[in-house]
Chain A
Amino acid sequence: MASTVGNSSAKASKGQSLAQDALKRFFRNPTAILGLSILSLIILMTIFAPLLRPGDPLKSNLKVRQLPPSWTMSQADLDKKKITAWTYPFGTDVQGRDLLMRVLYGGRISLRAGLVAVIFSVSIGMVLGLVAGFFGGWIDIVIVWLVDVLLAFPGILLAIALASALGAGTLSFQLPFLPFAFELSSIEKALIAISITQIPIFIRITRASVISLRESEFVQAAKSLGANPRRTMWLHVLPNGLSPILIQLTLSIGTVVLDMAALGFLGLGAQPPAPEWGAMISDGFGRFRSAPWLSIFPGLAIFLTVVGFNLLGDALRDVLDPRLKNVS
């Protein structure tokens, strides 16, 4: 019974569901289309990397090391290396590896990292934020205090500190009562470090929207009809507070991709020879004047990915925020 009340209040007055309405506006929004196309392109390219550039992105080939993008090379140079103008469109790196292949494979690391880290931090952050906002009292005080502590550090600094504390290389550890040991690779450790920096953001956003919803009519109505607090929290408050979380989630993926690259650049994330974008820029950084392509292409990849997620996040905010409904 109670759920009927909740749903009907959330429905748009024009007789369309919120989701339908949002979707329609989403596809009318040019920013959304742009963001989505950039991201789909990148995601498809990384998924189909083995088909687009068959080969091993880790294998050195010292005979063709540090070649500029082959379409910029003279015919004589191409002949000398026995390659064509399109053999290495992005050039090769210090080890003679195809840079295009490495950028494509690098997308797998960065995008997966973004997704996993955000899912991890949103699931923890959302629950804590929901509990804090809905129940208030001492739980709220403790959680907010924790958030304040975490937010006191700039995100990337905290990530660097955590990643350094976890050390280099593979970390093995055993939890009590479990028969197997856990192994964390450097990338996974960097992921955990970055995820932790994202958690307080999600706690804060969830808590804020829960507090505003807690006193709204439809929640009060559910309460007065006798719904228990847990049911009210999960079925009425949370679904209606989702849109800011969804927006932040999209934006956070971009941040995580960037932070991951920053850690990789500092040597704290992916270890060589993994084709991680940040680590690739770091490799090329020292040779920027003689071989700029080493950093330019992975840099472009990071740029496009982050721009893609940010455009998408912006568009989602335009679409999902009821106050902006008639603006577009």
Chain B
Amino acid sequence: MKKLALLLLSLLAFWSVANAQTLVFGQSRLPISLDTATDGNSLTVGYQIVENLVGFKESSAEIEPLLAESWEASEDAKSWTFHLRQGVSFTDGTPFNAEAVKFNIDRWNNQDNPYAFAAEGKDFTAWPSIFTNFYGEEGYIVESVDVVDEYTAQINLTRPLGYLPQLLAAAYFGMHSPKAVMESGFEYGGPTKGVVGTGPFVFVEWIDGDRLTLDRNEDYWGENAKVEKLVFRGIEEAATRLAELEAGSIDIAVNLSPDDYEAVSNNADLKVVFPDADLRVGYVGMHQANKPFDDVRVRQALAYAIDKDAIVEAFYGELGAVANEFIPPSLIGRLENDPYPYDPEKAKELLAEAGYADGFDTQFWYMPVSRPYYPNPKDVAEAIASMLSEVGINAELMTEDWGIYLDDYALGKFPIYMLGWSADFADSDNFISPFFSRTQGPDGFGWNNAEAFDLIEAAQSAGTVEERTAIYQQIEQILYDELPAMPLVNPRSLSATRANIEGFLPNPLGSTVPFRTITKN
């Protein structure tokens, strides 16, 4: 009996010591994969382990050197040289050098690369969404990577790109250990293998459906992380995340419901955290492979039928603003024109013109998880469905597992669906190409507008800010008229920490939050 008590006591002591240096982070889900997934929950974890060539300044969308110390473009901006940080190693001992950079970019860029594992089913969708396409396919941008010397890599492009460093700062493009990728094969990035990078934390364990644990990298090339252990937990409901935060079983909770803003502010044990301006948009997609959404009048009718002001006021309050266009405030190329007003009568007229005077039946898919752009997706979906029923659009509400959802929307299975976007980098291109480019538009929206496709490519290689602004405005006008998707909200995501947590600075870009600087007192 005494022994047992002693054991319990020592366990308790151990627990409290361990606890003091363990930071528990509550997000809405555990990652899908740490290698090629593109959702924020996966990227936030990966960003602590692998590092990009280019990083972001603290709580800012401005870039700064990370694994590359400096870079310069050739005169025509078709060739970029990156000078790498020296003496950095991956945590498996592999040196970080130009060969490693080439290995990573080749594997992302080329579907035929044996380490892309494309044949086994890995699909790095982030690459074409940011670099137009994979190597050799229509419109591809990255031609090759040359190893100039041990610490100099040169990236050659098919056409000028003035903001390549911004693109490489996106959370997707962390540098993975070539040795680890080769050894782990297809399972690299999954729960059994994890990932190996140069970052301030090291992958330890991933128990699917429960938690993912990282340890501090004691040999980090920069200043070591403040906390010893980092635990990520997937807690689906925003309210449950808040409850756990209040109970102290997690230290940081992200993507809380705007409903809880007051409750969090009034709680002395907690601190409210949100970025100054979020680069995010929540939208309602309409996939034109599904009749009658191939008819622009039907898509416009939907925009007239939805009372955006009422929805944003009810479900976001101070933490959101109605979005009229895809490019968020603070970026170039916005139209700033009037939104589609809430006008159910106009919606009915348009439906009648399109031959649906009596309305029609369809499906409205809502996300099963809360994301920063839609903290309470089901509530917004129900409100929209109710508004649509007023004009005769009878939308059955549907949802499915998040991983499958992200595949299915791009397959055109959803007539109307909710989705959103948190910027990868602070450029208008990131709110246009990932949706409406030649390669992405047909997937997400069944959208096929050659004029827009050409303009998007022109904007990417245009030289001056004025030129790019003008082109983006033209694109936005087409999007406004053709309405492949209806932007709904520019939200500010609400996070909260326990009062003893310092240094958690959300980034306007969402997933690129470094945990290295967080302290737990």
Contacts and interface: CB of A to CB of B under 8 A. Distances in A.
A-B interaction: yes
Interface stretch (B209-217, B232-240, B275-283): B232-240
A286 B382 contact: no
Interface in B226-285: 237-240, 257, 259-260, 263
A60 B378 CA distance: 13
Interface of A: 58-60, 62-63, 65, 94-96, 168-170, 267, 271-273, 285-290
B123 to A, nearest CB: 24
Contacts of B398: 168-169, 271
Nearest to B401: A168
B428 to A, nearest CB: 32
Interface of B: 237-240, 257, 259-260, 263, 307, 310-311, 313-314, 363, 376, 378-379, 381-383, 385-387, 389, 396-400
A287 B311 contact: no
Contacts of A287: 239, 259
Nearest to B240: A286
A63 B383 CA distance: 12
Contacts of A63: 310
B397 A95 contact: no
Contact of B386 (A95, A286, A288, A290): A95
A287 B376 CA distance: 12
B469 to A, nearest CB: 36
Contacts, number: 57
A59 B237 CA distance: 24
Given A272-B381, A272-B397, A60 B259 contact: no
A290 B385 contact: no
Given A62-B310, A95-B379, A170-B396, A273 B240 contact: no
A58 B240 contact: no
A270 to B, nearest CB: 11
B400 A168 contact: yes
| Chain A CB within 10 Å, residue with most, of B311, B382, B389, B396 | B382
Given A58-B389, A60-B383, A271 B259 contact: no
Nearest to A96: B314
Contacts of A169: 363, 396, 398
20 contacts: A59-B389, A62-B310, A62-B313, A63-B310, A65-B314, A94-B376, A95-B386, A168-B399, A168-B400, A271-B396, A271-B397, A272-B382, A273-B382, A285-B237, A285-B239, A286-B238, A286-B240, A287-B239, A290-B259, A290-B260
Given A168-B398, A272-B381, A287-B259, A58 B238 contact: no
Contacts of A288: 239
Contacts of A59: 386, 389
A290 B386 CA distance: 24
Nearest to A60: B386
A95 B387 CA distance: 11
Nearest to A273: B382
Contacts of A62: 307, 310-311, 313-314, 383
A62 B310 CA distance: 7
A273 B385 contact: yes
A247 B239 CA distance: 42
Nearest to A66: B259
Contacts of B386: 58-60, 95, 273
Contacts of B376: 94
Question: Interface centre among A95, A271, A286, by most B CB within 10 Å?
Answer: A286
Nearest to B243: A289
Nearest to B262: A290
Contacts of B382: 60, 94-95, 272-273
Nearest to A185: B396
Contact of B397 (A60, A273, A285, A290): A273
A169 B361 CA distance: 14
Q: Which of B238, B363, B381, B389 has the most CB of A within 10 A?
A: B389
A203 B307 CA distance: 54
Nearest to B368: A267
Contacts of B260: 290
A139 to B, nearest CB: 42
A62 B342 CA distance: 14
Contact of A60 (B313, B387, B399): B387
A267 B259 CA distance: 22
Nearest to B309: A62
A273 B66 CA distance: 49
> Which has the most chain B C-beta neighbours within 10 Å: A59, A62, A65?
A62
Contacts of A272: 378, 381-382, 397
A267 B400 CA distance: 10
A323 B379 CA distance: 55
Contacts of A168: 398-400
B247 to A, nearest CB: 12
Contacts of A271: 396-398
Contacts of B363: 169
Given A95-B383, A169-B396, A271-B396, 5 more contacts: A58-B386, A60-B382, A273-B397, A286-B237, A287-B239
Contact of B379 (A58, A94, A285): A94
A58 B383 CA distance: 10
Contacts of B396: 169-170, 271
B368 to A, nearest CB: 8
Contacts of A285: 237, 239
Contacts of B257: 286
A293 to B, nearest CB: 15
B384 to A, nearest CB: 9
Closest 10 CB pairs of A and B: A286-B239, A60-B386, A62-B314, A62-B310, A60-B383, A169-B398, A286-B237, A272-B397, A273-B382, A94-B379
Nearest to B263: A290
A235 to B, nearest CB: 48
A141 B495 CA distance: 60
A170 B257 CA distance: 30
A92 B245 CA distance: 28
Nearest to B237: A286
A65 B313 CA distance: 11
B50 to A, nearest CB: 34
A285 B313 CA distance: 22
Nearest to B387: A60
Most chain A beta carbons < 10 A, residue from B263, B383, B385, B399 = B383
Interface centre among B238, B240, B259 (most CB of A within 10 A): B259
A60 B310 CA distance: 11
Nearest to B363: A169
A272 B364 CA distance: 11
A230 to B, nearest CB: 47
A168 B397 CA distance: 10
A272 to B, nearest CB: 5
A123 B263 CA distance: 53
A96 B311 CA distance: 12
A239 to B, nearest CB: 45
A272 B385 CA distance: 10
B295 to A, nearest CB: 24
Contacts of B313: 62
